[in-house]
Amino acid sequence: MLKIYNSLARDKQTFVPIEPGKVRMYVCGMTVYDYCHLGHARVMVVFDMVARWLRTSGYDVTYVRNITDIDDKIIKRAAENQETIDSLTGRFIQAMDEDSAALGVLRPDIEPKATQHIPQMLSMTSRLIENGLAYVGSNGDVFYAVREFTGYGKLSGKSLEDLRAGERVEVDTHKRDPLDFVLWKSVKPGEPHWDSPWGPGRPGWHLECSAMSEQHLGDHFDIHGGGADLQFPHHENEIAQSEGAHNCTFVNYWMHNGFVRVDDEKMSKSLGNFFTIREVVKKFDPEVLRFFILRAHYRSPLNYSDQHLEDAKQALTRLYTALRGIEIPNIAIDWSNAYGERFKAAMDDDFNTPEAFAVLFELANEVNKSGSVQSAALLKSLGNTLGLLERDPQAYLQAGSSSMDVLTAEQVEQFISDRLNARKAKNFAEADRIRKELAEAGIILEDGPQGTTWRRA
């Protein structure tokens, strides 16, 4: 029985899909004007894990993750770069695809783009105006009338009064209420625009997610996810738009992942303290990064540092080491096995990956002790449900971390062969010298009954 922490209820709830056996899930994706950083990595990996676990649990999942390919920052960046918006967004969509693939993130079923849903957005805006929830401001922009929507603030737990009290937004005199937000922006010189009943312009950010989720998942769907920073105002506004246009519940379960931090501060573009995925992946195997992300519960803060990545690497190495040298048959997971049961219980408890990992480590210990092929197969397949342990163990352990490596596998093998001769001749001084030389090059040797194996530190 899967339980999910629902941000809307501020409580863990038993997951009951709208349609038995099916899950429709929407996640707010990237605005593509720059490379993805670790905060983006966390969203991608976390909801990939969620989608995988739902599928493992037998659900037929439709996973939608949007791409925001038109907004202020994109326009600004394209102008700075003196390139077209299409060229800019095209480049960064490709970069995003490369980064997510490296992290073992499966493609969502649908990746809708904002610019391909303008008619749907216009239609929704019309309906909101008809329902008395939107109006044309004095500057020609179309605004959502927040005070007309009963329940505004229910997701973020804020009342309109509280929000006004903490007002930090510059008062826009074109709005009826300072908290009203824009649905449709009238065109400014030199900006991309589309025709609309309210004149040429472009969509406000919040509107695209309401329009795209409506288009691909319908008026009412199961799970909506995103980073915790989107809870307000983005998701609050989505609720206002979608429920205001549909007159029905929008989403049953809202999920928000915690932030990635640096020195206990949120990693963000505005603070400038971010690391891109491609930067980190140069130093650490992408699977280590995935492991690091899933090692913390998805709702907890995740502090990034090279040392923490190093720890994650050591831990992942232990799992792969347990699998090394075992011929693993492709057998179905035995969920009635004690380890399988505990793993499932952990995952069903709001996707408790740290607890699930603990089970994997205990399984690894069991494999190391018994050499049991069944246990090894279970370890691997449980790991696989999280998108981990999919590679050949030896290949993982010997995989280079790019620029750092000075020796090729062939060179290492040559050293090992030389050392073997020295050892046969009982020339241990020479054997140890070779081992030391390799160690300095980041190569660790392990002498076993079947000969010497090696791995990279």
Partner RNA sequence: GGCGCGUUAGCAAAUCGGUUAUGCACCGGAUUGCAAAUCCGUAGAGGCCGGUUCGACUCCGGCACGCGCCUCCA
- Are 145 and 134 in contact by the 8 Å Cβ rule? The answer is yes
CB-nearer residue toward RNA: 216 or 455: 455
- Taking the complex as a whole, how short is the minimal distance between the CB of residue 384 and RNA, in angstroms? 18
Tell me: is residue 248 an annotated ligand-binding position: no
Cα angle 106-294-289, degrees, rounded to a multiple of 5: 75
Q: Which of 2, 8, 23, 28 binds RNA (CB under 7 A)?
A: 28
Tell me: is residue 36 an annotated ligand-binding position: no
Phi and psi of 358, rounded to 5°? -55, -40
State the Cα–Cα distance between residues 92 and 97, nearest whole angstrom.
8
Site for RNA in 84-143 (CB under 7 A): none
Tell me: is residue 238 an annotated ligand-binding position: yes
Partners of 134 in the beta sheet? 144
The reply to whether 42 sits near RNA by the rule CB under 7 A is yes
- Taking the complex as a whole, how short is the minimal distance between the CB of residue 23 and RNA, in angstroms? 20
- Are 51 and 25 in contact by the 8 Å Cβ rule? The answer is yes
The reply to whether 270 sits near RNA by the rule CB under 7 A is yes
Interface segment toward RNA; rule CB under 7 A; list 93-101, 124-132, 184-192, 312-320? 312-320
CA-wise closest residue to 92 among 232, 278, 321, 326: 278
Site for RNA in 245-264 (CB under 7 A): 257-261, 264
End-to-end CA distance of the chain: 41
Q: Which of 90, 192, 301, 400 binds RNA (CB under 7 A)?
A: 301
Partners of 22 in the beta sheet? 60
- Taking the complex as a whole, how short is the minimal distance between the CB of residue 132 and RNA, in angstroms? 23
Site for RNA in 147-186 (CB under 7 A): 156-158, 162-163, 165-169, 179, 181
The reply to whether 354 sits near RNA by the rule CB under 7 A is yes
Q: Which of 66, 125, 231, 241 binds RNA (CB under 7 A)?
A: 231
State the Cα–Cα distance between residues 284 and 126, nearest whole angstrom.
50
State the Cα–Cα distance between residues 253 and 117, nearest whole angstrom.
24
Bridge-based pairing state of the strands 22-31 and 221-227: parallel
Size of the site for RNA (CB under 7 A): 83
Site for RNA in 374-413 (CB under 7 A): none
- Taking the complex as a whole, how short is the minimal distance between the CB of residue 147 and RNA, in angstroms? 15
The reply to whether 200 sits near RNA by the rule CB under 7 A is no
- Are 303 and 262 in contact by the 8 Å Cβ rule? The answer is yes
The reply to whether 39 sits near RNA by the rule CB under 7 A is yes
State the Cα–Cα distance between residues 400 and 408, nearest whole angstrom.
9
Phi and psi of 254, rounded to 5°? -100, 125
Tell me: is residue 28 an annotated ligand-binding position: yes
Known binding site for ATP: residues? 269
Known binding site for Zn(2+): residues? 28, 209, 234, 238
